[in-house]
Structure 1
Amino acid sequence: MLIILDRDGVINQYDGNYICSADEWQPIPGSVEAVARLCNAGHRIAIATNQSGIARGYYDTDALDTMHEKLERLVEAEGGCIDFIAYCPHHPDDHCHCRKPLTGLLDQIRRHFHLDSLEGAIMVGDSRKDLEAAHSGKCQPILVRTGNGLDTERHLDARPIPGARVAIYNNLSEFTDALLSAEGW
């Protein structure tokens, strides 16, 4: 199964401030191990992340590449791998097609894996934008309470995503436990 993860607030710590360097990029406890466990269970892992800090001039693509290299090294050290990373470098005012909640990043992922559809894929995020992109892209939306997740959960009660059934977990590790136990791992 293909599992698509948002980055900030799902895999790494996120408090609303831009993460501009590999030193600032710190994993949420248990998240790197969770990604490796998903890989070891046969799942493919893709990342879909908005990175408007590039367009805002807070960091450049070299700094982003260094952050992603750190993520990949940590996951590989646990025996897993990230199959593909798609990111949107644009400013929200650029009106690009790749910035979540639009599905351009998901389209990149679908093409990378040579899939006709993302139906059956799971997308894990901490924001409404992640959940809306997942639903529009035909993925199962999963919300984690890390990062912006608690705020997102509170607002979902008042303004649900039409037609979407969103499962909610405390963190990526708890989601992984639930998925793998349902699959008999």
Structure 2
Amino acid sequence: MTPLKLVILDRDGTINADRDDYVKSADEWEPLPGALEGIARLNHAGWHVVVATNQSGLGRGLFDMAALNAMHDKMNKGLAQAGGRVDAVFFCPHAPDEQCACRKPLPGLFEQIGERYGVDLRGVPAIGDSLRDLQAARTAGCETHLVLTGNYAGQSEAQLAATLQSVPGTEVHADLASAAEFIVQRERHARAVARGTVDPPDSGPGELKAT
């Protein structure tokens, strides 16, 4: 049986624009440029996409489950228009002081995903915009990818270097579309090497490589 090709994404700052006062409604949920198309790119290449997101606004009483569902309904409709989809959204509803096991940087959400899909998360690509995304993913055994949107938009080279030192081996990309293209093209190249052929590279967004 062919192994499940799985990618795990953060939400706020990776798929949609983040807000200092939290994304609290569907009206406030706005996709980042190219993000939904990036997810569709992964889907079309055979990847299943799931979301792992901290939503402490629930625990803080800033919005309720109906509002969260409305946000994800808007996301899913936008994805459908782009030709993509996410299989599921795993979220932590707890405030920081509740000491749960699922709030990133702890790996609980990732462990739930591994259990739900019956997959070993070692090497599964995980894409996020914050150090805690990377820490949770690495603890769960995932391959870490950082996008320079959300938390890392406008960050200094020194701040980026400190993050990469904390989670070495992380790939760095301009945005989700670039990360998706990197993953798709890397797999295509690996298949070409296995066949002993050379595929011409597709044109598309580039990626920044961590050093």
The TM-score, its normalising length taken from structure 2, stands at 0.82
User: Could you tell me which of 125, 141, 147 is aligned with 1:138?
Assistant: 141
Identical positions, percent: 42
Per the alignment, do residues 154 and 2 of structure 1 end up closer, same or farther by CA in structure 2, a change over 3 Å counting?
Answer: farther
Residue identity matched to 1:118:
L
1:89-108 equivalences in 2 (<5 Å): 89-108=93-112
Task: Kindly indicate whether residue 122 of structure 2 is the aligned counterpart of residue 119 of structure 1.
Answer: yes
CA-atom RMSD in angstroms:
1.6
User: What is the Cα deviation at residue 155 of structure 1?
Assistant: 2.7
| Paired AA for residue 145 in structure 1 | L
Partner of 2:171: 167
2:40 aligned residue: 36
Look up the match of 2:50.
Answer: 46
2:166 is matched by which residue type in structure 1?
I
Structure with higher Rg: it is 2
Shift of 1:181: 2.1
Counterpart residue identity of residue 16, structure 1: D
> What is the DSSP-based 3-state SS (H/G/I as helix, E as strand, rest coil) of the residue aligned with 1:17?
coil
Give the alignment partner of residue 2 of structure 1, picking from 1, 6, 9.
6
**Contiguous gaps of at least 5 residues in structure 2:** 189-201, 203-211
For the 8 Å contact 1:145–1:153, the answer to whether it is kept is no
Contact 1:110 1:118 (C-alpha < 8 Å) held by counterparts: yes
CA distance in 2, matches of 1:46, 1:61: 19
Query: Secondary structure in 1 aligned to 2:123?
Result: coil
Q: Which amino acid aligns with 2:48?
A: R
Aligned with residue 148 of structure 1, among 146, 151, 155? 151
Q: For the residues of structure 1 that align with 2:152 and 2:121, how far apart are their CA atoms?
A: 23
Work out whether 1:77 is the aligned partner of 2:81: yes
Checking the alignment, whether the CA contact within 8 Å between 1:127 and 1:152 is kept in structure 2 is: no
Unpaired runs of 5+ residues, structure 1, are: none
Structure 1 distance, partners of 2:149, 2:20, is 12
Task: Map Cα deviations across residues 100-156 of structure 1 (whole Å, 9 max, x no partner).
Answer: 0001100111111122x2012111000000000111010011000000024497434
Structure 1 position 181 matched with structure 2 position 185: yes
Asked if 1 retains the 8 angstrom alpha-carbon contact of 2:11 and 2:51, the reply is yes
